[in-house]
Amino acid sequence: MAAAAEIADTDVAAAVAAPTGAPATAPADGAAPAEDSEAAAAAKAARQLEKKLKKEQQKKEQKEKKEKKAAAAAAASAKKKGQSNEGMDVGKEEDFPRWYNQVITKSELIEFYDISGCYILRPWSFSMWDSIRDFVDVAIKKQGVRNAYFPLFVSQDRLEKEASHIEGFAPEVAWVTRSGQTDMEKPIAVRPTSETIMYPAFAKWIRSHRDLPLKLNQWSNVVRWEFKHPTPFLRSREFLWQEGHTAFATQEEADAEVLAILDLYRDVYETLLAVPVIRGRKSEKEKFAGGLYTTTVEGFIPSTGRAIQGATSHCLGQNFGKMFGITYLPESGGAAKTVWQNSWGLTTRSIGVMVMTHGDDKGLVLPPRVATLQVIVIPIVVKGREEEMASHARRIADELSEAGLRADVDARTDKTPGWKFSQWELKGVPVRVELGPRDVEASSAVAVRRDTFAKTTYPWASLVDDVRALLDVIQADMLAAARATVSSRITIVHGWEGFVPILDAKGMAVAPWCTTVECEEDVKKRSEAASLAAAAAASAAAGEAAGEADERALSGAAKTLCMPFKEELDKMGVPEMAEGACCFACERAAVAFTLWGRSY
């Protein structure tokens, strides 16, 4: 069906685009003119295509109607039984997109907004961004980076000054074209990134070698508008980030900082968020537009089999310095020299990656170091002892808080202990401390881990130290479990055969590659075609419409994720490149082992 649609689309396009006039070859006596028969065939194909698309749309509408009816019935049933619809009602592996939307809204991370691609970050998620921001801010200040703030708007002339740079962002730029009811003489862009905003100022501030290095960072929002399917945290039209911009006298200094910042980003993910990442260098096709080279930390979501770019650190070389005239007089004297520059950024996407990595069927699972609340104390009351139990619970929560842990008590009397357990599991609090009458009599409390639900009884006398140690264990265990899962999805391949099946099995492939743009484009086309064929076959077997297969296949193409650093390849067990090794996808000589996958 997909192939038929392609042919029909081509015929219709040809009929619309075909020039009028005499045919190149005269028709035989009694035969219809060539253009008439071609037009008739095209018209017939167009009617068939329209009929097919209409049928597919009807099927889709019927399916959606059926799903809505089932959801309404389930909600009515739950209400009749006295159940709450506040919890999760879909499994992570059952329907990942619906699971993700539920977990980020029901756990109160996100509230949807009436402009597509824009979201409200609620306190539960913004406190996590605060933790990430504090972690990064302390680290970069130790490296001599200072915070500043530059305007949100950039003139068209400035934005378009670097051709390859703007080409990379052009489809995503949002423009202000009117003030009130008056059209502006020149449109003004809302920043998609700040190179062209900052660098004219750099050119003013840098005059001598004494002005270097210049290291600035800003915490801000940016707007990138052009895409069809926004996803909260991962792909939104407005998002929060930090962007660092630095200038050096030498390439060696710039190169060293690129790697230092990349290691910081790895620490954000692994030390703070318990999310394993792979460090490496982007291909020429995937590097930052206008830059010299790009390094990245790549995450992976096992449930979807898709990689995701976690953060990037770019060496811009001297391109922007030459463009904006950022030069300095060297200490040795002589002519002015152009600076070497870097830029690097981390966004609120990191929160979404963490949610996708650790969340389960009950909701969020938060790593202790970034959790808004690390411990929730819940008294299990009995009639006549309500105030006594609540008092003990408050005392425990206060002791934990005074020791520097983020703890609170849930002493609400209108909710049952079971309801509270489910609610705090949904919100991902790492440790739940249960306190019942028997626990009070024994001067102890029960600590329950959110990640494994394992229970341990601790005496009051050592509860603070025990819970602190437990949080450290949870943090380490979450990273280890996630790392083991990601490692199990990486396969080494040396030829095309088996490459696409690895991706279809929700994995990533490490392969020797020639690093040419032509080959990368070819891999994308071939893998997409294979994905389309497989999806069409699966749809035919399931009785689905061809359009559904096409939609799935659009994101089925493979792409380079990065060329992992040697340390990362060693962790994967990748051997040294054999002498004379060929690219896995073409006949060229292999240059580097490269990580491939499907990506968000």
Mind listing the pLDDT tens digit for each residue in 110-147? Answer: 999 999 999 999 999 999 999 999 999 999 999 999 99
Contact 340, 542 (CB under 8 A): no
Q: Return phi, psi of residue 345, to 5°.
A: -155, 150
Would you say residue 312 lies in a domain? yes
For the chain, the helix, strand and coil percentages under 3-state DSSP, each to the nearest 5? 45, 25, 30
State the total domains in the chain: 4
Could you give the angle at the alpha carbon of 278 between the alpha carbons of 273 and 283, nearest 5°?
135
Residue 340 has pLDDT above 70, yes or no: yes
Domain holding 594: CATH number? 3.30.110.30
Tell whether 113 and 256 lie within a shared domain: yes
Neighbouring-strand partners of residue 154: 189
Domain holding 113: CATH number? 3.30.930.10
Least confident of 5-9, 83-87, 523-527: 5-9
pLDDT attached to residue 550: 45
Tell whether 540 and 437 lie within a shared domain: no
Residue 561's CB is within 10 A of a number of other CB atoms, namely 27
Tell whether 494 and 407 lie within a shared domain: no
Q: Which residue, 79, 73, 69, 9, is CA-closest to 45?
A: 9
pLDDT attached to residue 334: 93
Domain holding 389: CATH number? 3.40.50.800
How large is the average pLDDT for residues 32-43? Answer: 52
Considering 425, 445, 478, which residue would you say is the last residue of a domain? 478
pLDDT attached to residue 531: 81
Token pair of 539 as six digits: 């749809």
Tell whether 261 and 114 lie within a shared domain: yes
Tell whether 256 and 282 lie within a shared domain: yes
Tell whether 247 and 107 lie within a shared domain: yes
Tell whether 473 and 498 lie within a shared domain: no
Residue 344 has pLDDT above 90, yes or no: yes
Would you say residue 465 lies in a domain? yes
CA dihedral 49, 54, 56, 60 (to 10 degrees): 160
DSSP string, 546-580: HHHHHHHHTT---EEEEEE-HHHHHHHTPPPPPTT
Would you say residue 289 lies in a domain? yes
Q: What is the mean pLDDT of the chain?
A: 88
Contact 435, 400 (CB under 8 A): no
How large is the average pLDDT for residues 552-572? Answer: 87
Q: Which distant-in-sequence residues (6+ apart) come within 8 Å of 46 by Cβ?
A: 8, 11, 12, 15
In this structure, the strands spanning 306-317 and 375-379 are: unpaired
Would you say residue 159 lies in a domain? no
Q: Which distant-in-sequence residues (6+ apart) come within 8 Å of 100 by Cβ?
A: 231, 355, 356, 359
Would you say residue 183 lies in a domain? no
Tell whether 136 and 247 lie within a shared domain: yes
In this structure, the strands spanning 508-513 and 490-492 are: parallel
Would you say residue 161 lies in a domain? no
Would you say residue 570 lies in a domain? yes
Q: Which distant-in-sequence residues (6+ apart) come within 8 Å of 350 by Cβ?
A: 132, 268, 269, 273, 310, 311
What is the pLDDT confidence band of residue 533, given thresholds at 50, 70 and 90?
A: confident
Q: Which residue, 427, 434, 564, is CA-closest to 88?
A: 427
| Percent of the chain scoring above 70 in pLDDT | 82
How large is the average pLDDT for residues 551-575? Answer: 86
Tell whether 130 and 244 lie within a shared domain: yes
Tell whether 418 and 450 lie within a shared domain: yes
**Structural domain boundaries enclosing 242:** 103-152+191-358
Considering 304, 330, 358, which residue would you say is the last residue of a domain? 358
Contact 405, 471 (CB under 8 A): yes
- Quick: pLDDT tens for 192-229: 999 999 999 999 999 999 999 999 999 999 999 877 78
Phi-psi region of 240 (alpha: psi -120 to 50; beta: other; left: phi over 0): beta
E strands in 273-386: 278-281, 293-301, 306-317, 327-328, 337-338, 340-347, 375-379
Tell whether 530 and 398 lie within a shared domain: no
Could you give the angle at the alpha carbon of 320 between the alpha carbons of 314 and 325, nearest 5°?
145
pTM reported for the whole predicted model: 0.84
What CA–CA distance (Å, rounded) separates 406 from 216?
Answer: 32
Considering 358, 389, 416, which residue would you say is the last residue of a domain? 358
Tell whether 256 and 403 lie within a shared domain: no
Would you say residue 24 lies in a domain? no
pLDDT attached to residue 562: 99
Residue 32 has pLDDT above 70, yes or no: no
Contact 278, 297 (CB under 8 A): yes
Mapped onto helix, strand or coil, the DSSP state of residue 450 is: coil
Mapped onto helix, strand or coil, the DSSP state of residue 439 is: helix
